[in-house]
Amino acid sequence: MQSAGFSLIELILTIVLIGIIGTFTSLFVYSGIRGYLTTRQNSEGALQAQIALDRISLELRNITSLTATPDTTAPDLSVSYKSAVLSGTRELKYDSNQKAILISVDDGSNYNELLKNVDPCVLSLSYLNLDHDTAPVNEVEYIQFEFNLDGIGKEFRTRIFPRHLVEEK
């Protein structure tokens, strides 16, 4: 006696095969979406870091005076400066509690966030006798600012050569 239709075994095998195909398809789609989201996050973070580095370079390139925290590798560091082209006394600061690079103009009480999710941040100053006088080496040759962004795993750094720290004779 032959009956028309599917047997129970055929039905179960079809469901199992559809399940296997569905599992692999969902893993493929999931990995593609996850890769896209990770790439987008890294790209946006790198763009924000580059914008922050450009702003820091703009701020520190034309400084006429500079006061840095004694330990520029401390968890919190700051640099106060005056610029030949920008008005007021400015301050660039890294706050380890907020994990943010902050910038302030004039009073030092109102900070604007330049970049967040920064950890760690290092500021280093290199001194050299640029005006060749008999005084001790006291001119800043360059300022190096470097940091890592959480979640990206890449170090961002810039080296700024101040133009106006050595007085013309």
CA-CA distance, 144 to 153, in Å (whole number)? 19
User: Whole-prediction pTM value?
Assistant: 0.76
E strands in the chain: 63-68, 77-83, 89-95, 100-105, 111-116, 118-128, 139-149, 155-160
What is the DSSP secondary-structure string of 147-159?
EEETTT--EEEEE
Integer CA distances (angstroms), 64 to 87, 109, 158, in order: 12, 22, 19
The answer, yes or no, to whether residue 169 has pLDDT greater than 90, is no
Q: What is the pLDDT of residues 52-85, one digit of tens each?
A: 999 999 988 988 888 877 665 567 788 888 888 8
Q: What is the pLDDT of residues 34-43, one digit of tens each?
A: 999 999 999 9
Angle, alpha carbons 17-18-20 (nearest 5°): 65
